[in-house]
Structure 1
Amino acid sequence: MDQRLQRRRRAAKKKQKSGLTKLLQDLSPNFRFSTKYAHLACDQLVCLLLPLVGFFRDSARVIKRCTKPDRQEFRRSALAITVGFLIMGFLGFIIKLLHIPITNIIMG
């Protein structure tokens, strides 16, 4: 059991990160500044950039997987959206019709 854990730990150490995350992780502990607030600014910069890097990586993955819909898929989507608009409009109309007499009873 211990040997497996040691192998996993060694394998995890050997994994090299790439891109901006590697750069930011390499730089963050090595910054040495003369003022005590400069290190805080660096930490804030790292905390700001790491989520942005993840966001851009996820966005690139989504764009790579996106495909243009064919005619049948487009028609299905358009029909579903149209039905949704009609249902929401009908519900809003019914609620407005019910609201008018209730308002007249309360106010008058």
Structure 2
Amino acid sequence: MDDFVVRGNLYELYGGLLNENQRKVYEYHVIDDMSFTEIGEELGTSRQAAQELFRRADKKLQDTETTLGLQSKLRHIRERAVMILEHTEDKEIQKLAGEIIDGV
């Protein structure tokens, strides 16, 4: 999976654990695809400071995923729901599996 997709998913799950500055830098880099130079200019700081803040935020999200494993658990649930959807003819089960897929 693409790094930006993985990081976006981690941010969606755990972004609330970051402080305001970390969230800004993470959103600017991952979601808005801004360079660290652009982020530094936006925040009135250096490229190096923006990069370091991002690195610390990224590590916090990665460490949280390592500890909790929600992203991998959600991926596993989704994969199982897709298998159920593909292997059943029961309309109610298909509907429920579809809801799981959409919700995960």
TM-score relative to the length of structure 1: 0.28
> Higher Cα Rg: structure 1 or 2?
1
Query: Comparing both chains, which one has the higher relative contact order based on Cα–Cα distances under 8 Å and sequence gaps of 6 or more?
Result: 2
Tell me the TM-score normalised to structure 2 length: 0.29
